[in-house]
Amino acid sequence: MGGGGARNCGKYGAFKRGLCFFFMKFKWIISDRQESDLWECLLARRGVLPNQRQEFLYPDWDKNTHSPFLFTRMEEAVERFFTVLTRGEKIIIHGDYDADGVSGSALLYTTIEEIIEKMNSKSSLEVFLPDRQSDGYGVAKHTMQKFIKDKTNLVITVDCGIANADVFDLAHASGVSVIICDHHQLGERVPEHAFVIHPLVPGEVYPNKTLCGTGVAFKFASALIEEARKRGFAFPTGHEKWLLDFVAIATVTDVMPLLGENRTLETYGLKVLNKTRRPGILKIIELSGSTLGSIDTETIGFRIGPRLNAAGRIGSARLAFDTLVAKTIDDAIVLAAQHHGGSVCTGARVGTQKTTGVCSGCHKQ
């Protein structure tokens, strides 16, 4: 395309003159097509190499996902976890307040709760989600001091922790073990007093460098399930795949590239999400005007994800977490309605505005 219409600009208004100027200033150059096949051409333009074509178009679980035990410190982290469980010690998951942090916390909480139950362990399990205002991002020193005071034995971070080496020195000095599941940029130093599961730490050989925080938590959960099986606890084959609805939501919400292993996790995750039985997710889907069975990355990015993020931004991320792990549809209805309204729905109140309408979440006047 060129600036062919420039001569006639005077006849048209300012807007069209601007448009003419645009075409005069910029020339669109369409590059020659090297590939004979249209598919090849489109894939090449997206940077997909011929040897990546199969994985890109037809992701395959067995071929295109990696063993969680490829993470350098996975084995040690898993061993530490089971020692804590065997001793019936206290575990806290420290998450984050955005959709990735909340989904990852829900994923790990669901898995660990199940393992505790199967092992008949006396361990207690709690989830702590920091407050954006009062705690800030990452593991705050005052939070760790509280964990120490409460006689916590193991802290597992999700979607944060890698930049909090000082805080973990404190934990170590008080005998608290720390497992970090994170994907954020490294801090000044990598925490040496923690089992670090993070694709970007120096020397890490795990091949997928673009997992989201929930993706890293999924890898840890998969390793825990694998080890639980080895120890004789009944987890059916493929059990971990049912956690992929959380991974599908978080990978899109955290805007991670849908290439390589992420593409496979997302593809299978969407299948799981479209069949999800989690009451809270079902309710969020319904309230967002979406339909189970036709959830895609756009539905996640524009309807589901923003609802989860909103909780941590204008209220408490706990609301998003409680919704994701709700066990009954009654709980889910109340919780998801609060997301939907953007504030606590007390029946006659929808959102932050008092209304006389009916809340579509709880159906109360």
Total interface residues for Mn ion by CB under 5 A: 4
254 contacts Mn ion (rule: CB under 5 A): yes
CB of 108 to Mn ion, least distance (A): 14
Span of 7-15, 17-25, 43-51, 94-102 interacting with Mn ion by CB under 5 A: 94-102
Give the helix, strand, coil percentages of the chain, each rounded to 5.
Answer: 50, 5, 40
Options 23-31, 209-217, 297-305, 352-360: segment touching Mn ion (CB under 5 A): 209-217
Using the minimum distance from each CB to Mn ion, give the nearer residue, 180 or 228: 180
Query: Which range, of 70-78, 157-165, 256-264, 344-352, touches Mn ion by CB under 5 A?
Result: 157-165
- Whichever of 254 and 261 has its CB closer to Mn ion, that residue is 254
Judged by beta carbon, residue 251 or residue 290, the one nearer Mn ion is 251
Length of the chain: 365
**What does residue 154 show for φ and ψ, rounded to 5 degrees?**
-140, 130
Interface pick for Mn ion out of 138, 159, 217, 345 (rule CB under 5 A): 159
Name the residue nearer to Mn ion (CB basis): 100 or 245. Answer: 100
At 331, list the tokens. 């709980």
Tell which one of 68, 213, 260, 280 touches Mn ion (CB under 5 A).
Answer: 213
Taking the complex as a whole, the smallest distance from the CB of residue 364 to Mn ion amounts, in Å, to 36
Closest to Mn ion by CB, 215 vs 260, is 215
Q: Minimum distance between the CB of residue 98 and Mn ion, rounded to whole angstroms?
A: 7
Q: Which C-beta is closer to Mn ion: that of 159 or that of 261? A: 159
Contacts of residue 283, Cβ cutoff 8 Å, sequence gap at least 6: 323, 326, 329, 332, 333, 335, 336, 337, 361
What whole-number distance in Å separates Cα of residue 304 and Cα of residue 324?
A: 11
Q: Reduced to 3 states, what is the DSSP secondary structure of residue 262? A: helix
Least Å from the CB of residue 73 to Mn ion: 20
Q: Does 182 bind Mn ion (CB under 5 A)?
A: no
- Residue 179 DSSP class: E
The two tokens of residue 140 are 């705050």
Centre a 10 Å sphere on the Cβ of residue 203 and count the other Cβ atoms it contains.
Answer: 6
> How many CB atoms within 10 Å of residue 220?
27
Which residue's CB is nearer to Mn ion, number 240 or number 254?
254
Q: What distances in angstroms separate CA 357 from CA 220, 235, 349, 354, one per listed residue?
A: 45, 46, 8, 9
100 lies in the site for Mn ion, by CB under 5 A: yes
Residue type present at position 310: A
Give me the residues that bind Mn ion (CB under 5 A), please: 100, 159, 213, 254
